[in-house]
Structure 1
Amino acid sequence: MSSGRDSHLDPYGQQPGLEVVHHPDLEVATPYGLVPISSLPQVQPHEYLPPHDSKEAASTAYGYTSYSDEHNASPAPYPNEDGGLEKKKKRLRWIIIGGVVAVVIIVAAVVGGVVGSRNSSGAQSSGANSPLSTGTNAGAPNDGVPAGEDSRPPVDTLEPPELIRPGSGLSVTGWRMPDGNVETYLFFQDPQDGLRYSRCDTSRRVTGNDSACWAEPVSIPASAKAGTRLAASTALWGDEYQPQIELFYVGGKTRLLGVNLNEQNTPSAAESSVNDKRLFTGLDSGLAAYWPWTIYQDSTGVLYHVRNLLDGSDWSPSDEAWDNNRINRTALVGSNLAIAPTSTNFTLQAVKAGYAVFYQDPDDRLAVSITDIESPFRPSDFHVPWPADDLPDITLPKRAPLAAFSVAREGGEDLQLVDTYVLYLDSNANINVLYTDSTSWDSSDDGASGVVWKTASPRALRSVDRDTDIACLTMATTIHSAAKQEVPLEDGSSGENRCYFQKGGRVVEVRLDRDKQDWVVTGHLPIF
């Protein structure tokens, strides 16, 4: 895969042999006389300037014009000054003042650093009682793992990772390969705002350690906004797209951007043609994607979908054509978004009513919309899989993370029906599951007849990080694989419907045990 951003040396890093010694009686010469250091304002650790290799200093990918975030206007340039003796006097005066200020800042920084270090040590020793600690430590750390099945250390006892930022956006996508194994990509953002992914080939799993399949993270070329949400999907079609992974994210000026990964191309990572649409999202817009759809939100809360227009009657991906349309739904500004297909058949997923979007409404309730479900152009062979207007009344914390996935309904093959699962975080840092129970489904009636929504709070999903995102895998589908075969949505019996979240800063993988209607922790990813 192509490499991501190059690392930069820290110009402010420590130099061997140099040490600043603090003298409590040291005085600083100022224009107003000698002033004791102890009487000067102290610089706190959070007030230090960012290192030179921070986001503001990073170059943009793909040759985009560099620009400041529209919500953080750049300061105006200094006015021009005339030359002459007065100018030289002013310059000398500023040099002297600058030197004095530099000494003050250096000494104060040392004092502040010592204080900050002591405070940090105190916070670490206080554990979960610290207001800065993420998540909680209540409950068994390996809830959901059968005894004797996992000998690895509990997630809660491991050191926090350095490759992923706390509260990073997460997104996962995957497909079943011709050899029968599954290939999965999990995307995340690192502390320097770079985007990375880890890949799993299930043939590399080890008995009792499913997470052994995950490879070391790989950087991808992107210019992402700090804290962007992520949305990944998989395009399958013939030999050319076998597969092509599309990752969508928010960049500078809240522009919706994309990058695709295709091992058959050189380079394998390339700019997505969706970038030519010049679309802009709200500042904290959620994102969700399932091929060929991508959902985002504008600054007023209105939802939009972007669709790859596909080429002709063979449903092949278009290299250039994308459509952007408003959805007649308004969500809480900054709401997270989740998408799930409403049919097992790609030809029904890719048209009107082909997906459901879950979001938080302006009253903080969980809401859902099957877009264009009332359209007269909806396919005649589409069947509504579950009651979209009968969602339980669930109030979410502000901007709570959401994820969703669908599986083929057992016995619903003729109507190409799905069952859907929605995961959301509650105010106690527990992930809850809302799912469709179709055990009483009346197959002689429509797809939604007898289907009810139920909720659960599995032990394996409790006590996660409060700022975590959630990502869940819906397997990719196509009407034309490399073997020229249709690939419909799988049912949940394969065990590949997995979800991901952060706990103790690390990324945890859980799987749905559909037979038991329960969730099992399979391990954590090698994102260190």
Structure 2
Amino acid sequence: MANYNNGYQPGLEVSQPEYYSAPEALGPNDPRDPKYNDSYYAPHALPPTHPGDPKYPYAYGVVPGAGEPPTATTYGQPPATYPGPPPTGELHADSASPARSSKKKWWIIGGIVLILIIIGAVVGGLFGAGVIGSKKSQSADNDNDSNTTGTGASPSSSSAAPSATPSPAARFIRQGSPLTVAGWESPEGDTEIFLFHQDADNNIHYSRYYDGSTPVDTLNDTLWAEPVAVDTFATANTRMAATLIIQGTAFHPQVQIYYSGGESRMLGFNVNLRSNPTSGEDSINNSRLVAQKGSAAGAYWPWFTYQSAAGELMEVRNKLGDAFQSSSTWDVRGLGITTQGGSAVVMVPMSAIFRNMAVEGGFGLIYRNSQGVLALAVPRLDQGEVAEGYARSWPEEDLPTIAVELDAPIAAFSVARPNDSSGRVDTYVLYLVGTDIHMVYTAGGNAWKQVEPTTLRDVDPDTDIACITLGSSISNSNGKTQRIPLPGRNTKCYFQRGGVVQEVVLSGTEWTEGTVVPIP
């Protein structure tokens, strides 16, 4: 796992005040208003059997222990304090191992010595027979091994001895890989995109796109760099959601990835190219979120959602500070929406303005409901819990009835609505039907419209779909507010076609093919 210097975790630490502009006049839904003191969520009187009761830990309210960096024993807690089975491949504290008798230990040592004697005899015979080459030839072979990328190996095995016969066809993505993507446009006009994918050994990698002036090694005459491995507890049924923190100069940006790992865990890691190491476990891992096996996930900072063990969609929000800066504590509560295992869920912002998106009514969910059709939800909007003057982005009417297969992927993104001073957004939803991707969208907020774009046909039947909603911020690196942009050159989605990842770009309501992402 990642080693944090001096216990520092590159992630959700409280940022320094100088990263933020001077206080402004408070808007009607500004978290700096005294009504938001202590916690984003006001205390509730809970029924005796409500999941928010203390006897149901970690279901609702401020998550305990989230303020500390993850430790090597995070996943080694006994079941009494860490409910459910531990993730596979976890690290355990030494104290968790049973004591061994000294007699058994000496039997083991004796056996090892005997094996070494036998191996020595065999190797000596091979040298005598000329089977093993000279030391010079071995050195040449070792030099060749060191020049391989090595990123196709499991991150947890990076310190192990290299294989004697490295695979000549190592790949950084498998067929049917989960996909998730996050991106932003810098104040200088550069674009940076992080596309996450999984290889055949369940390792997670990211491919980075960058079109700025800083020199970057790229592949195949594109603007994509070679994939980079990150250390995770991902499994074969892992699903992921990526989002960005844009905050001053320290988070410039930082990518947050939430994923289902192990048997019943919702976990996270982050990538920050200004940190050393550049990736590591996120503080959300101390929250001990119990999830449905293979839970879907959706995210847009400071929010994310996942499926609880009972199938309920859960809302998680970073407990932002007075100036909207990130923190290392989280609020969690259920949304009362139940979904089937295997159902997809995605999250999009409901405002192009960060201060409006980071509070009640700030995000929308698109998911497959228990009747097997596409459904929408803007939590607390229907309950009248949003601030006065809330600007609704989605139409009042529901989606048309759209049947979605149980394991079919769903993706969505929001862009700023042109000529809208309230900061409303237009939302586009993509979903798979057989080998074609269909789209339902709202432009102008009047109604939902369905289309079947020809460019999105004949995709791989087991593909995932990932789309970018560009990052927003209350204060970016130049101290200014950064809104979600209007639709443009970075309105992009990704999916697999013919085993490779195809990029497509939206112009108006028409999709055009972009670059094939070069993932070796």
TM-score (norm 1): 0.65
2:350 to 342, 346, 349: 342
Hey, what does 2:232 align to over in structure 1? 222
Aligned: 1:196 with 2:210: no
Work out whether residues 171 and 188 of structure 1, in 8 Å CA contact, stay in contact via their aligned partners in 2.
yes
Figure out how many residues of one structure are paired with residues of the other and give that number. 367
Q: Residue by residue, what CA displacement relative to the aligned partner does 1:507-528 show, whole Å, maximum 9, x if unpaired?
A: 11101012xx200111211112
After TM superposition, give the deviation of residue 307 of structure 1 in Å.
0.8
Matching residue within 162, 169, 185 for 1:176: 185
| Paired-residue identity, % | 35
**Does structure 2 retain, via aligned residues, the 8 Å contact 1:211–1:522?**
no
Shift of 1:70: 4.0
Whether the 8 Å CA contact 1:360–1:399 is kept in 2: the answer is: no
Query: Are 1:507 and 2:501 counterparts?
Result: yes
Which amino acid in 2 is paired with 1:332? Q
Q: How far, CA to CA, are the matches of 1:196 and 1:73 in structure 2?
A: 19
Give secondary structure in 1 for the equivalent of 2:336.
Answer: strand
The residue aligned with 2:381 is 373
SS in 1 for 2:511: strand
Is 1:183–1:200's contact at 8 Å kept on the other side of the alignment? yes
RMSD: 2.8
8 Å contact kept, 1:344–1:488: yes
Report if aligned partners of 2:260, 2:296 keep a CA contact under 8 Å in 1. Answer: no
Tell me by how many angstroms 1:388 deviates. Answer: 5.1
Q: Deviations over 1:303-323 (max 9, x none)?
A: 0011111112x10111x1111
Letter in 1 for 2:303: W
Q: Structure 1 CA distance, aligned partners of 2:372 and 2:170?
A: 32
**CA-CA distance at 1:210 after TM superposition:** 11
Is the alpha carbon distance of 1:238 and 1:162 closer, same or farther for their aligned partners in structure 2, counting shifts above 3 Å?
same
- Match of 1:431? 437
Structure 1 residue matching 2:514: 3-state secondary structure: strand
The answer to whether the aligner puts 1:279 opposite 2:279 as a matched pair is no
Partner of 1:100: none
Matches within 5 A, 1:343-492: 343-387=351-395, 389-412=397-420, 414-426=421-433, 428-438=434-444, 448=445, 451-492=446-487
**Is 2:265–2:293's contact at 8 Å kept on the other side of the alignment?**
no
C-alpha spacing 1:381/1:217, structure 2 compared with 1 (3 Å): same
Counterpart selection for 1:497 from 482, 491, 494: 491
Secondary structure in structure 2 of the residue aligned to 1:410: coil
- What is the CA–CA distance in structure 1 between the aligned matches of 2:191 and 2:517, rounded to whole Å? 16
- Residues 8-63 of structure 1: CA deviation (Å, up to 9, x unaligned): xxxxxxxxxxxxxxxxxxxxxxxxxxxxxxxxxxxxxxxxxxxxxxxxxxxx9955
Paired AA for residue 422 in structure 1: V
What secondary structure, in the 3-state scheme, does the structure 2 residue paired with 1:348 have?
helix
SS at match of 1:274: helix
TM-score (norm 2): 0.66
2:314 counterpart of 1:322? no
2:275 to 265, 272, 289: 265
Checking the alignment, whether the CA contact within 8 Å between 2:264 and 2:309 is kept in structure 1 is no
Matched-pair contact (CA < 8 Å) for 1:369–1:388: no
Offset at 1:223? Answer: 1.3
Question: Are the aligned partners of 1:224 and 1:251 in contact in 2 as well (CA < 8 Å)?
Answer: yes
In structure 2, C-alpha distance between the alignment counterparts of 1:491 and 1:251, rounded to whole Å: 35
**For residues 265 and 72 of structure 1, do their structure 2 counterparts lie closer, same or farther at Cα, with a shift above 3 Å needed?**
closer
Alignment-mate amino acid for residue 423 of structure 1: L
**Residue 196 (structure 2) aligns with:** 187
1:467 partner letter: D
- SS across alignment from 1:253: coil
Residues 395-434 of structure 1 deviation map (CA, whole Å, 9 limit, x = unaligned): 012221000000111121x1211110000001x3100111
- Secondary structure of 2:317's aligned partner: strand
AA matched with 2:448:
W
State which structure, 1 or 2, has the greater radius of gyration over its C-alpha atoms: 1
Name the SS of the counterpart of 1:382 in structure 2: coil
Say whether the 8 Å CA contact 2:88–2:262 is kept in structure 1.
no
Q: One-letter code of the match for 1:437?
A: A
